[in-house]
């Protein structure tokens, strides 16, 4: 644990460099569009609707299963007012604050069901989501 803390603290010391922290301006045209498939070495990344079972057919061959599903889903809150981005992040296409708690639960079930159907037995699924009060 001490080694991890030392690494994290060392990163914090360098975080103050404004030049290295600067993000490029958000372009007016997106570089990725719905249904774009990115090939990253032996990995595939699809910009698609995770609720659609056909999306998984595009990134996994017949009979192929994922060992790891790692997601960063929308939080059902608008980016504006919740994300420190200086206006550099677009709103999510859905689950950006318009859903009731029940609708958001249904949304999560709608994408988790097809995702877990393509998960290897013993595989791991994790999603990052911010809990707001």
**Phi and psi angles of residue 46, each rounded to the nearest 5 degrees, phi first:** -115, 130
What are 35-61's pLDDT values in tens digits? 899 999 988 888 888 899 999 999 999
Q: How far apart (Å, rounded) are the C-alpha atoms in residues 115 and 59?
A: 12
pLDDT the model gives residue 133: 47
CA distances from 25 to 73, 85, 86, 87, 89 (A): 23, 11, 10, 9, 10
Taking the whole predicted model, whether its pTM rises above 0.75 is answered as no
């Amino acid at each position: 644990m001490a080694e991890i803390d030392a690494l994290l603290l060392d990163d914090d010391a360098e975080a103050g460099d404004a030049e290295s922290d600067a993000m490029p301006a958000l372009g007016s045209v997106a570089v990725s569009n719905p249904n774009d498939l990115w090939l990253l070495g032996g990995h595939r990344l699809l910009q698609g609707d995770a609720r659609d079972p056909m999306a998984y057919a595009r990134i996994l061959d017949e009979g192929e299963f994922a060992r790891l599903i790692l997601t960063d889903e929308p939080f059902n809150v608008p980016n504006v007012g919740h994300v420190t981005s200086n206006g550099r992040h677009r709103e999510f296409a859905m689950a950006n604050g318009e859903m009731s708690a029940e609708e958001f639960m249904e949304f999560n079930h709608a994408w988790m069901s097809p995702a877990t159907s393509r998960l290897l037995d013993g595989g791991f699924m994790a999603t990052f989501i911010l809990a707001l009060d």
